[in-house]
Structure 1
Amino acid sequence: MSIFRVTGFRRFLVEVISDGLTFFAMGLVLMTALALPSFQVTASGEFNQVDDYAITFLDRYGNEIGRRGIRTDDSIELATLPDYLINATLATEDRRFYEHFGIDIMGISRAMVTNARAQSFVEGGSTITQQLAKNLFLSSEKTITRKLHEAFLALWLETHYSKDEILKLYFDRAYMGGGNFGVAAAAEYYFGKKVQNISLAEASMLAGLFKAPTKYAPHVDLAAARGRANDVLTNMVQAGFMTEGQVTAARLSPAAAIERFENVESPNYFLDWAFGEVKTIIKDYPIGTAFVVRTTVDPVLQKHAENSISSILREEGEAFNVQQGAMVVLEPSGAVRAMVGGKDYGKSQFNRATSPTRQPGSSFKPFVYATALETGKFRPNTVITDAPICIGDWCPKNYGRSYAGRVTLKSALARSINTVPVRLSQATGRQPIADLAHKMGIQNSFPVTRSLALGVISVSVLDMASSYAVFANGGYKAKAFGISRITTLRGDVVFDAKKDIAQERILQTETVAGINEMLRAVVTSGTGRRADVPGTPASGKTGTTQSYRDAWFAGYTGNYVAAVWYGNDDYTKTNNLTGGRLPAQTWQKFMVYAHSNIKVANLIGADFNNIAVEVSTEQNGDDQSPQLVRPPTLTPDAGEKLRKLERKLEDLLLVFDRAPTAENTNPPLQSPLG
């Protein structure tokens, strides 16, 4: 056993080696334990997800109109990137990238010496592989545990990917500031160029962003970005990638970021809504994927819709104590051509066009009349009694508490009489009315109460436009949609709206013709006369709620459907604003422009000759105006003369339009004519 006994200096060596092996074994066990989370991360095969998708939106003609989510582009091959961008990155971030195994021992040693001399942290030792490991798998917390995981994951990456694949992932996944991930997206954002076309000065500025993108982003601090770019050029010279003479021009003419005006021209309310619609369609794709989305929005109509709302508010908003407006324009198929969600997107991003929080008042009445016509027991010329009515302790009344006696359904709707739709709801049942409203496009649920017939529910402007499109297209379902096609950046088709989808019929053709005829009378001789579009058959309905909190006009031609709302966000009362005033004026202003230089499509049941209502001098709920006689066989010339006469009378007529918002006893109500 003497061979195991050592003394003197040999014993000292044995003790040192023995203790060293022991601690080495303990270290391996500890390192393995610390690495277990890293092994679990790689076993899952999932990279870190960025915060959102990257969506580029195009208008109906294929022109870019805005972006949402993050900005990223992974479609650029490494071989097509400029050599000086790659060299600038390697010179600054990892000069020995193609030599080390994921962890650069020499680089770490050099950084430690440099930091010790400076007595502060001035240089890091992380390789590109380690930075990629952090981007793909870890958080940005600065802890020893995270650094250990980063080292293990760097080794894993080096064994599973080639150097070029790692570098490509790094260029695609690194955050570059301004919501941009990857050099391709950053080049587009900062310089308005494809990354393949950037200059040496621009490449050095991009390479400088990897260290601290929020600090050196040129749109945040251009001086700091240029200073950092100059350091990158120096690194390239020191690394031997370029000579001083080759970088001199880039030093003398540093890069500058283009000016960006994100919210000036983009249809931002529409884009916010469309972004949500896109995410529903692509929900099965990984977060962070980039897409190009072709929308249905028409930039010319969108601009005019915005101008129609803003100009009316600017000119008459103060007089009526109204601060906000919203508008949605569709084609009868449901394709959204314009969306205005408020007066100023910069001040408020709340989308009033899609939020189902306002009562429609009398603009809901067409659903009641359509339900009645669907039964086959009622037609536009059916006579019904306008007289006091009570359901339990609820007794809705016409404005002014006057009654017309025997009236046709057509006249009752044109004059927005309240008792008639309530009687119709008793005849058909209230649940069928609610069911039809949902089938036509009202998506949010609402209680089926006694006051349903007078529009005491909450709806969105978008749903009202979508529902009225059923009248415009002959009775078919017309769910509003804003997305026509979605592709990846490489052009792979993800979604394509089917234009030949079997249409779902909601209303009979006879019902559509009857409603169009009745709503045409609203525009020609009822509460919506201000919405009359010369030379274009138009139908629609006004709506005003209790205390004048909401004012509506929803209407359509054979070409377009539009719903307009005005009110205040805090639900304060307007100054007697009715649906027949600003909403109808806005609708008419837009439609006159939209129908210029296009072929006017037919509207079933609403031609120029089919606009008669009976003679009446009774005051009606919305305007207190005498009803003009329209013979059913009027010639176009005679009809135009009568319309001119009506327009002259309009300024002399006061439109009253109110509807109840609660089931109170004997309220001084009258569902608006509008």
Structure 2
Amino acid sequence: MKNTTRGKRPLVADKRSGAASRKKPTTPRKPPVKRRKPSPPRRGGIVGLFLWIIRFIVRLFWAVTWRGTLALVVVIGLWVGYTATTLPDLEELLDGRARGSVTLKDYQGATFAWRGDQFGGVVTAKTVSPNLLHAIVATEDKRFYKHIGVSPRGIASAIRINLREGRGPLDGHGGSTITQQVAKLLCLGTPYDPTTGQSEKEYEQECRRGTLQRKIYEAVYAMAMEAKYSKDDILTIYMNRAFLGAGARGFEAASQRYFGKSAANVSPAEAAMLAGLLVAPTRFAPTNDLARSQNRAATIIRLMNEQGYLTADQAADAQANPAELSEAAAARAGGYFADWVMSSGPEFFTRQTTEDVIIRTTLDQRIQRAAEEGLRWIFENKVREGSNAQAAIVVMDADGAVRAMVGGRENQVAGAFNRATQALRQTGSAFKPFVYATALDLGYSPLDTVEDAPLTINIPGSGPWSPKNYTNRYLGTVTLAKALEESLNIPAVKISEYVGRDLVRRVASGFGIDSDLAAGPALALGASESTLIEMTGAYAGFLNGGSSVTPYGLTELRLLGDDEPLMGTGGGIGERVIQEEAARQLVWMMEKVVSEGTGTRAQFGGREIAGKTGTTQAARDAWFIGFTGNYVAGVWMGYDDNTPLTGVTGGGLPAEIWREVMVRVHEGVPDTPLPMDAPRGAQHVVDTPVEQPRPSTTENIINNLLRDILGGGGGNASPPSQPKINGGER
């Protein structure tokens, strides 16, 4: 066969395959090489060196900074962690007072005054009113729930404000969070230790130091608290330890003190006022300046509205109806009275107590208001404007229970000089009832007579002494009752000398006049000094039938939470001083002083009133002390620096103050007759040196005194020089 393929063209496919087979193998391509961008030409010379140095410093600073920052964060974290492990349990941080408190209640059990650091009890963030919680956060730290204990933004803002106001960066505004304020309240965990000799005030000043080092410690302590406690726990500590003025520690105590209600029940306006105290407790205390406190509260209400805690309507209502003080806080009754009770009670349960003490007292707040209003009315209507004259008032029962006390015109203060209990002043003719009480107890009658005529007594070592009556007139023969009624000096001296000065002093001391009594014949004219409360208590002895009285204000003292009292009444009626018959006749004589004599300005309402006026030499002191069948009241008036009063005697302004007070005191009080007896008849003439019936225990003293008088002497001893008292008054 012929080869059919010979001479034929190769197929296209063949050509392809053949071509492919005959093609030379190709070398694999290398991957493209990335070309580096040409670096900028290096600068040479000084400029290049300078730029290299800058780059080096920047790289070095960054390397050091981030490593240093990391190390600092680690150190602070360890510091915070360690501090957090040392923090005590929450319950141990709620009451950090160094001393206790005293709550004073009136005779009905209503609180009227506080002393010491009052703690109203533990409150928590969950038990207080939401209004109070919101007011605190809005005022003190609006980012409280967002930070970790410190606020860099707040610190920067505070530094900027301080610098703008010309202060140092750490002076003035601190930018402290609530947590930092709690750290400061806790004094960074250092409790007060009185054994160091440091006072509590010095301790608190140390805790408030604003140095940079202290701020660093404070910040670490705050962050440790944030790690240890919840936000509500921190607020709880804050609300229980913050000082809020007027001795109140914690918001419960402050709410009770200012509003008479629990912190769980305060309104938005009341909450704003309480929160406003945090910045300056004493300055913004509503008991110091209610208007200023209300203005501060208005600012806080606005902040609460801006931060969404109050609606516009709620804020407007709170602004229109600002918080008002409770009746007890507004009246602040018994400031002087409370001070007196505190000073007369046991020191370890009053002035230096470390316990919370409840004291029930004899105070009647109605009578206290009557005393304050009566005094204020007289000074507003009867005393010239700008006068610096002072006055004091004491009102008590016949057993010495003090119902009211005013120690001066500034009766809204505590801790002031109490002229009712602390001022020793000459008593003047207010002392004369003790002279007549002595005579009556010896058996004399109010109708016995004495000669009112010029008298000169030779005082050994001092010379002749010639007392005079206030009017420089002499009435001749007068009864003892008339002599007291007109406050005649000569008869008082004669009776005192006749019955014996020692007996007069003994009777006065028996009735409670503890001050040193004059040794010479001027004793009868009130040359001795005494306090108003002593004199008023002595007159209470006349009303109760002749027994001594110890004025008292405390009726029960117990510790908070205890049912049984630790002590009871600290005073009352004591031993008999004069016979009841003598006391009833003395009351009859003293009633004549008010109804017909020098004390007529004290009359009111047709009631039976007994009393005695008193004015000292040059009118430096003016007194009126008197009583109805219900109450005894004493009034003193004078200047603290012993400047003579102008145109004032005991029968004048003091008697009018007494009347204004007692009119108010007796509103709604039934009329009670005085315990008095009219005398049976005259038996003796005091000037006649005849033997008179008198107790055998005093017979020798009386005979000696009588012999001295008849011989021209001044007594049975050589008395000191006597003041030239012309005494007496109208």
1:472 deviates by 0.3
Question: Scaled by the length of structure 1, what TM-score is found?
Answer: 0.66
State the match for 1:466 in structure 2.
537
Structure 2 CA distance for partners of 1:199 and 1:288, relative to 1, 3 Å? farther
State the match for 1:672 in structure 2.
728
1:456 deviates by 1.1
User: Secondary structure of 2:626's match?
Assistant: strand
Question: What is the CA–CA distance in structure 2 between the aligned matches of 1:226 and 1:315, rounded to whole Å?
Answer: 37
Question: What is the CA–CA distance in structure 1 between the aligned matches of 2:236 and 2:637, rounded to whole Å?
Answer: 52
1:363 deviates by 0.9
1:325 deviates by 3.8
Asked if the contact 1:128/1:167 (under 8 Å) is kept, the reply is no
Question: What is the CA–CA distance in structure 2 between the aligned matches of 1:409 and 1:173, rounded to whole Å?
Answer: 66
State the match for 1:194 in structure 2.
262
Alignment of structure 1 residues 516-527 onto 2, 5 Å: 516-527=587-598
Asked whether 1:183 is paired with 2:251, we answer yes
1:395 deviates by 1.9
State the match for 1:397 in structure 2.
467
Question: What is the CA–CA distance in structure 1 between the aligned matches of 2:476 and 2:483, rounded to whole Å?
Answer: 10
Asked if the contact 2:613/2:655 (under 8 Å) is kept, the reply is yes
Task: Report the residue type matching 2:437 in the other structure.
Answer: A
- Match for residue 515 of structure 1 among 586, 590, 608: 586
Asked whether 1:130 is paired with 2:183, we answer yes
State the match for 1:442 in structure 2.
513
Question: What is the CA–CA distance in structure 2 between the aligned matches of 1:593 and 1:67, rounded to whole Å?
Answer: 26
Question: What is the CA–CA distance in structure 1 between the aligned matches of 2:153 and 2:282, rounded to whole Å?
Answer: 23
Asked whether 1:416 is paired with 2:487, we answer yes
- Match for residue 298 of structure 1 among 353, 364, 375: 364
Asked if the contact 1:133/1:153 (under 8 Å) is kept, the reply is no
Greater shift, 440-449 or 466-475, is seen at 440-449
State the match for 1:361 in structure 2.
428
Identity %: 33
Asked if the contact 2:363/2:553 (under 8 Å) is kept, the reply is yes
Asked if the contact 2:619/2:648 (under 8 Å) is kept, the reply is yes
State the match for 2:405 in structure 1.
339
Asked if the contact 2:102/2:118 (under 8 Å) is kept, the reply is yes
1:47 deviates by 5.2
Asked whether 1:277 is paired with 2:341, we answer yes
Question: What is the CA–CA distance in structure 2 between the aligned matches of 1:155 and 1:611, rounded to whole Å?
Answer: 90
Count of aligned positions: 575
1:310-360 deviation per Cα after TM superposition (whole angstroms, max 9, x unaligned): 4445554459x9954433222111122333444564799654433424322
Question: What is the CA–CA distance in structure 2 between the aligned matches of 1:48 and 1:277, rounded to whole Å?
Answer: 23
Structure 2 alignment gaps of length 5 or more: 1-70, 88-94, 164-168, 193-202, 684-719
Asked whether 1:454 is paired with 2:525, we answer yes
Question: What is the CA–CA distance in structure 2 between the aligned matches of 1:114 and 1:559, rounded to whole Å?
Answer: 69
Structure 1 alignment gaps of length 5 or more: 1-19, 33-37, 39-45, 236-243, 615-661
Alignment of structure 1 residues 220-235 onto 2, 5 Å: 220=292
State the match for 1:6 in structure 2.
none
1:556-608 deviation per Cα after TM superposition (whole angstroms, max 9, x unaligned): 2321112223344454444443333333344445545655654444544x24x
User: Secondary structure of 1:478's match?
Assistant: strand
Question: What is the CA–CA distance in structure 2 between the aligned matches of 1:313 and 1:200, rounded to whole Å?
Answer: 40
User: Secondary structure of 1:337's match?
Assistant: strand
Asked whether 1:81 is paired with 2:147, we answer no
Alignment of structure 1 residues 251-266 onto 2, 5 Å: 257-260=322-325, 266=331
Alignment of structure 1 residues 378-393 onto 2, 5 Å: 378-387=444-453, 388-392=455-459, 393=463
1:612-665 deviation per Cα after TM superposition (whole angstroms, max 9, x unaligned): 899xxxxxxxxxxxxxxxxxxxxxxxxxxxxxxxxxxxxxxxxxxxxxxx9668
1:261 deviates by 9.5
Question: Scaled by the length of structure 2, what TM-score is found?
Answer: 0.62
Asked whether 1:430 is paired with 2:501, we answer yes
Structure 2 CA distance for partners of 1:98 and 1:471, relative to 1, 3 Å? same
User: Secondary structure of 2:209's match?
Assistant: coil
State the match for 1:562 in structure 2.
633
1:469 deviates by 0.2
Question: What is the CA–CA distance in structure 2 between the aligned matches of 1:405 and 1:334, rounded to whole Å?
Answer: 39
1:398 deviates by 3.1
Question: What is the CA–CA distance in structure 2 between the aligned matches of 1:548 and 1:205, rounded to whole Å?
Answer: 49
Task: Report the residue type matching 2:432 in the other structure.
Answer: K
Greater shift, 307-316 or 488-497, is seen at 488-497
Structure 2 CA distance for partners of 1:507 and 1:75, relative to 1, 3 Å? farther
Question: What is the CA–CA distance in structure 1 between the aligned matches of 2:283 and 2:381, rounded to whole Å?
Answer: 45
User: Secondary structure of 1:464's match?
Assistant: helix
Asked if the contact 1:545/1:551 (under 8 Å) is kept, the reply is yes
Asked if the contact 2:390/2:409 (under 8 Å) is kept, the reply is yes
1:418 deviates by 2.1
Structure 2 CA distance for partners of 1:86 and 1:128, relative to 1, 3 Å? farther
Alignment of structure 1 residues 476-495 onto 2, 5 Å: 476-485=547-556
1:277 deviates by 1.3
Asked if the contact 1:267/1:339 (under 8 Å) is kept, the reply is no
Structure 2 CA distance for partners of 1:181 and 1:255, relative to 1, 3 Å? farther
Alignment of structure 1 residues 288-327 onto 2, 5 Å: 293-318=359-384, 323-327=389-393
User: Secondary structure of 2:637's match?
Assistant: strand
1:377 deviates by 5.7
- Match for residue 49 of structure 1 among 98, 115, 122: 98
Asked whether 1:173 is paired with 2:241, we answer yes
1:467 deviates by 1.0
Structure 2 CA distance for partners of 1:151 and 1:524, relative to 1, 3 Å? same
Question: What is the CA–CA distance in structure 2 between the aligned matches of 1:190 and 1:476, rounded to whole Å?
Answer: 42
Structure 2 CA distance for partners of 1:85 and 1:506, relative to 1, 3 Å? same
Asked whether 1:537 is paired with 2:608, we answer yes
Question: What is the CA–CA distance in structure 1 between the aligned matches of 2:546 and 2:509, rounded to whole Å?
Answer: 14
1:473 deviates by 0.7
State the match for 2:394 in structure 1.
328
User: Secondary structure of 2:347's match?
Assistant: coil
Q: CA RMSD in A?
A: 5.5
Question: What is the CA–CA distance in structure 2 between the aligned matches of 1:611 and 1:565, rounded to whole Å?
Answer: 35
1:402 deviates by 5.0
1:304 deviates by 3.9
1:296 deviates by 3.1
Structure 2 CA distance for partners of 1:322 and 1:566, relative to 1, 3 Å? farther
User: Secondary structure of 1:397's match?
Assistant: coil
Asked if the contact 1:470/1:478 (under 8 Å) is kept, the reply is yes
Structure 2 CA distance for partners of 1:163 and 1:477, relative to 1, 3 Å? farther
Task: Report the residue type matching 2:98 in the other structure.
Answer: Q
Question: What is the CA–CA distance in structure 1 between the aligned matches of 2:670 and 2:273, rounded to whole Å?
Answer: 53
Greater shift, 132-141 or 535-544, is seen at 132-141
Question: What is the CA–CA distance in structure 2 between the aligned matches of 1:585 and 1:87, rounded to whole Å?
Answer: 53
Greater shift, 252-261 or 380-389, is seen at 252-261
Question: What is the CA–CA distance in structure 2 between the aligned matches of 1:113 and 1:331, rounded to whole Å?
Answer: 62
Greater shift, 506-515 or 221-230, is seen at 221-230
Question: What is the CA–CA distance in structure 1 between the aligned matches of 2:284 and 2:268, rounded to whole Å?
Answer: 17
Asked if the contact 2:239/2:251 (under 8 Å) is kept, the reply is yes
Asked if the contact 1:450/1:663 (under 8 Å) is kept, the reply is no
Question: What is the CA–CA distance in structure 2 between the aligned matches of 1:461 and 1:539, rounded to whole Å?
Answer: 17
State the match for 1:645 in structure 2.
none
1:545 deviates by 1.9
Question: What is the CA–CA distance in structure 1 between the aligned matches of 2:498 and 2:224, rounded to whole Å?
Answer: 74
Asked if the contact 1:483/1:497 (under 8 Å) is kept, the reply is yes
Larger Rg: 2
Question: What is the CA–CA distance in structure 2 between the aligned matches of 1:234 and 1:494, rounded to whole Å?
Answer: 51
Structure 2 CA distance for partners of 1:591 and 1:249, relative to 1, 3 Å? closer
